[in-house]
C-alpha cells in the first residue's frame, strides 16, 4: 500500500473537540480517492496532516504510513524530502501558494533543483516541458511572468506544474479548481486527468463538489464533521448511499438534466468514462 491512514485524530490547541477524529483511508499505486464533504468537515486538515504541514498547534495521533513507513512524529526535514518529490500537492488558492515577487518559471525550477539536483539549464528545460504539459500554450512567456500577470486558470496550471514536475507517485489536490470558472475548471481537470493517466500517479482529490469528484475518482470517502462516514467505490456509494449526509449530497448535486427515474448525471458520467 502506498498511503495508509489509520485512526488519525487532530486537535488544535486546547480545544477538546478534534478537527478530525479517527480518520482512515488508503490509496494504492495509481488509485484515485476523492474526499468529499461540506466546508469545515476536516478535508483540508486531513490533507495537511498527510503532507506534514499542520504546524505546531496541532496535536496528531494515529498513523499515516507511506509505503509502510510511519510519518506521524517524523521531523520536518524528513517530510520535506517527500513533499514535492514522492508527494506533490496543489491547493485551492493559487495567489497564496505562489510567491508574488518571483517569476513563475523560477518557482517551478526551484522545486526541480531542490529534489532532482538539476543544473540551471536542465531545470529550465524541465520547467518549459512541464508548463506545456499542463496546457499552457506559451511556456516561455508564462515562465517569465510574475503570478499577478497571469489569469486564475494559468496560475492554477503553474501550481499543478509545480506539483507534478518531479513525477510524484501521489498527488494531493485540495479543491484545486474551486476558484476557477466552470469552463476553465473543466479544462484544468481534463489536463490533470490526462497527466495522471500518463504518469500513473495516484490521487487524493479533495472537493465539496460531488460532480467534480465523480469526474476524477474511482473511490470516494465522505467526510462529515471530522469523520469519514462512508467510503467505497464511486458507483456503489452514489447508487446506494448509506449515510443521510451522502444521500443529501447526491440529491443536491446538479440533477437539472435528469429525467424522473433516470440515473443522476454524475453517475452517468462515471459509467460513460469506465
Ligand atoms: N490551524 C487551525 N487551528 C484551529 N482550528 C483549525 C485549524 N485548521 C482547521 N481548523 C478547524 O478544523 C475544522 C476542519 O477544517 P478544514 O479541514 O479546513 O475543513 P474543510 O477543508 O473540510 O473545509 C474546522 O472546524 C476548522 O475551524
Ligand atoms: Mg478546505
Lowest pLDDT segment from 111-125, 187-201, 210-224: 111-125
Question: Is there a single domain that holds both residue 212 and residue 103?
Answer: yes
Nearest to 189 by CA among 177, 203, 206: 177
For ligand 1, atom 6: residue with the closest CA = 12
CA of 232 to the centre of ligand 1 (A): 24
Question: Is there a single domain that holds both residue 183 and residue 268?
Answer: no
Q: How many percent of the chain have pLDDT more than 90?
A: 68
Q: Which residues keep their CB under 5 angstroms from ion ligand 2?
A: 43-44
For ligand 1, atom 26: residue with the closest CA = 40
Q: pTM for this one?
A: 0.90
Q: How far apart are CA 179 and CA 138, in angstroms?
A: 23
Indicate whether residue 228 lines ligand 1 (CB < 6 A). Answer: no
Q: Look at the chain and report how many structural domains it folds into.
A: 2
> Which CATH number does the domain housing residue 165 bear?
3.40.50.300
Question: Is there a single domain that holds both residue 138 and residue 23?
Answer: yes
Question: Is there a single domain that holds both residue 64 and residue 156?
Answer: yes
Res. 262 pLDDT band, cuts 50 70 90: very low
Question: Is there a single domain that holds both residue 22 and residue 125?
Answer: yes
Question: Is there a single domain that holds both residue 16 and residue 129?
Answer: yes
pLDDT by residue (tens digit) across 14-68?
888 999 999 999 999 999 999 999 889 999 999 999 999 998 899 999 999 999 9
Indicate whether residue 39 lines ligand 1 (CB < 6 A). Answer: yes
Question: Is there a single domain that holds both residue 156 and residue 251?
Answer: no
Indicate whether residue 248 lines ligand 1 (CB < 6 A). Answer: no
Mean pLDDT of the chain: 89
Report the DSSP pairing between strands 3-12 and 20-27.
antiparallel
Sequential DSSP letters for 60-78: EEEEEEETTEE-TT--HHH
Question: Is there a single domain that holds both residue 7 and residue 115?
Answer: yes
Res. 267 pLDDT band, cuts 50 70 90: very low
Residue 258, domain extent: 247-274
Amino acid at each position: 500500500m502506498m498511503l495508509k491512514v489509520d485512526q488519525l485524530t487532530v486537535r488544535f490547541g486546547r480545544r477538546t473537540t478534534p478537527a478530525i477524529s479517527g480518520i482512515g483511508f488508503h490509496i494504492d499505486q495509481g488509485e484515485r480517492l476523492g474526499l468529499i464533504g461540506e466546508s469545515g468537515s476536516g478535508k483540508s486538515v486531513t490533507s495537511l496532516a498527510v503532507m506534514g504541514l499542520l504546524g505546531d498547534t496541532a496535536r496528531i495521533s494515529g498513523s499515516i504510513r507511506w509505503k509502510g513507513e510511519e510519518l506521524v512524529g517524523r521531523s520536518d526535514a524528513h517530510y520535506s524530502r517527500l513533499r514535492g518529490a514522492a508527494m506533490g500537492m496543489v491547493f485551492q488558492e493559487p495567489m497564496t501558494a505562489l510567491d508574488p515577487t518571483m517569476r513563475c518559471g523560477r518557482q517551478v525550477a526551484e522545486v526541480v533543483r531542490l529534489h532532482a539536483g538539476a543544473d540551471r539549464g536542465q531545470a529550465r528545460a524541465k520547467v518549459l516541458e512541464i508548463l506545456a504539459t499542463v496546457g499552457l500554450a506559451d511556456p516561455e512567456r508564462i515562465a517569465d511572468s510574475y503570478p499577478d500577470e497571469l489569469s486564475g486558470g494559468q496560475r492554477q496550471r503553474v501550481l499543478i506544474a509545480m506539483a507534478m514536475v518531479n513525477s510524484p507517485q501521489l498527488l494531493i489536490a485540495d479543491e484545486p479548481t474551486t476558484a476557477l470558472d466552470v469552463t476553465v475548471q473543466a479544462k484544468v481537470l481534463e489536463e490533470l486527468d490526462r497527466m495522471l493517466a500518463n504518469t500513473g500517479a495516484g490521487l487524493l482529490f479533495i472537493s465539496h463538489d460531488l460532480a467534480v469528484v465523480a469526474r476524477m475518482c474511482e473511490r470516494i470517502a465522505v467526510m462529515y464533521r471530522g469523520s469519514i462516514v462512508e467510503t467505497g467505490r464511486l458507483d456503489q456509494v452514489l447508487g446506494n448511499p448509506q449515510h443521510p449526509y451522502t444521500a443529501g449530497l447526491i440529491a443536491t448535486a446538479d440533477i437539472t438534466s435528469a429525467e424522473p427515474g433516470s440515473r443522476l448525471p454524475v453517475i452517468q458520467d462515471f459509467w460513460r468514462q469506465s
